[in-house]
Amino acid sequence: MSDIWRIANDFYAQALTHLQQPDQWWQIGVIVLAAVFSLLAARALRKYLSGASQTGSDSPVQIVATLSNRIALPAFLGLATVAAGAVLQWTGLPFGFTSIIATLALTLAAIRLSIDVLKRVLRPGPLLAASEHLITWFAWLLVAMYMLGWIEPVAAALDHVAIPLGKEGFSLLDAFKAILTMFVFLMVGGYLGTIATRGLMSSHDISIGLRVGIAKFVRLFLLLIAGLLGLNAVGIDLAALAVFGGALGIGLGFGLQRIAANFVSGFILVGDRSIRQGDVITIGQRFGVVKELRARYIVVRDRDGVDTLIPNENVISSEVVNWSYSDRAIRLKLPVQISYQDDPREALRLLLEAAAKHPRILKDPAPASRVMGFADNGISLELRYWIRDPEDGINNVGSDLHLEIWDLFEAAHITIPYPQRDLHLRDGWPGNVAG
């Protein structure tokens, strides 16, 4: 690390020497003015474009507003320092430091603009999108080090810090190159996997379950190939991975059984097509629509809009009611009681009339009404009907039917009984107690 300290000391000594020269103060002054101007200009531009957020996310004004938040400040700073350097050169004053600041600022703006354009064109996955700021500052740091002439000394200093590993040592520079190479290969593999997933999911000739299964396999396969190619590119012998594979197997056996079980269960769910994306299921007390089939869990969204992540192992080992396994049409039952003084045939007809008025109840199979028995308080009836969209809710259909049946019964003077009991006194009514 002595080279790095030497570079830092040289930079500090040169900076101190320049600060002691009155001619250099002009550079500091114009850089401060350029920075103040850039801050005010960037703030004014963002304020001017703030109304663009009300438009669509893909509108040109919205795109310009988004870019202004990222590149306005470095772009204004670069242009201002370029103009200031030209004025200093024209007056015969030193302008080297302003040129460096201008180049660094414009380089940062260009890198941010390039990454934003690539992000909109390539539409990367969440990992690459989350690494956007890291990539930006890393690329800018490399440019800054190259301009200052620090690349070779820093690389040499990192190469000197090494640990013995086999016949050759493994230095910090090797670790840095390995991380960078692996990141590039995994980024490319992840992007290819995203493209393949989009292509498969847009195909309507394959069932949704098979599409999800193939997409998962292709994505994991591409990431595995990318990882192996990255390891080979940095000079790691792939035969040495046998030891790592054994250690990983032991780890799976002792500490990662549940994670491995969830991954395997995920492929089983996709393979046997018992649960598919879009199915309406009930597992335990949870009722909802399967929104996603992930490698470790499934996402079930209930009628409240709450997403529940259920591990694949639980789905495999638990009893699951799949309302749309073979057919999306399901039959529901609505029990009703009427008084013994009312006509049950008329009540059955009114139940069918109420079902016929609801838009979500199917005409084929047709609704049916049945007398289920003579209960303690009245005659028990039941309305049976079919719907084809259980993901839109089943209780709301029952609620609508209850209201419609109430109105029809009221119009026909059919009463809904309440609990009744007859009281028989074996010894007669007790005599009045004299008050």
pLDDT class of 349 with cuts at 50, 70, 90: very high
| pLDDT at 4 > cutoff 90 | no
3-state SS of 360-406 is CECCCCCCEEEEEEECCCCEEEEEEEEECCHHHCCHHHHHHHHHHHH
pLDDT at res. 36: 85
pLDDT class of 278 with cuts at 50, 70, 90: confident
Domains in the chain and their CATH numbers?
A: 2-160 (no CATH), 330-412 (3.30.70.100)
In whole angstroms, what is the distance from residue 34 CA to residue 64 CA? 23
What predicted TM-score, i.e. pTM, was given to this entire model? Answer: 0.43
In whole angstroms, what is the distance from residue 91 CA to residue 30 CA? 13
In whole angstroms, what is the distance from residue 243 CA to residue 166 CA? 15
Mean pLDDT of the chain: 75
Beta strands in 76-181 (DSSP E): 162-165, 168-171
- pLDDT, average across residues 124-148: 69
pLDDT class of 114 with cuts at 50, 70, 90: confident
pLDDT class of 380 with cuts at 50, 70, 90: very high
In whole angstroms, what is the distance from residue 58 CA to residue 45 CA? 19
Nearest to 382 by CA among 369, 365, 396, 366: 369
Higher local confidence (pLDDT), 381 or 209: 381
Rg (CA), the chain: 37
| pLDDT at 65 > cutoff 70 | no
pLDDT at res. 39: 83
| pLDDT at 131 > cutoff 50 | yes
Higher local confidence (pLDDT), 48 or 243: 48
In whole angstroms, what is the distance from residue 170 CA to residue 179 CA? 13
pLDDT at res. 309: 87
Three-state DSSP state, 417: coil
Render 302-323 in DSSP notation, one character per residue: -TTS-EEEEEHHHHHHS-EEET
In whole angstroms, what is the distance from residue 106 CA to residue 82 CA? 10
| pLDDT at 300 > cutoff 80 | yes
In whole angstroms, what is the distance from residue 297 CA to residue 302 CA? 16
pLDDT at res. 80: 82
In whole angstroms, what is the distance from residue 150 CA to residue 337 CA? 88
- pLDDT, average across residues 326-351: 89
- pLDDT, average across residues 263-290: 78
For 212, the token pair is: 């999800």
Three-state DSSP state, 279: coil
**Which amino acid, one-letter code, is at 36?**
V
> 307-331: string of b/e by CB count within 10 Å (b at 16+)?
eeebbbbebbeeebeebbeeeeebe
pLDDT at res. 435: 45
pLDDT class of 372 with cuts at 50, 70, 90: very high
| pLDDT at 54 > cutoff 70 | no
pLDDT class of 408 with cuts at 50, 70, 90: very high
- pLDDT, average across residues 212-231: 72
**Which amino acid, one-letter code, is at 390?**
P
| pLDDT at 395 > cutoff 80 | yes
H/E stretch holding 237 reads: none
- pLDDT, average across residues 39-67: 66
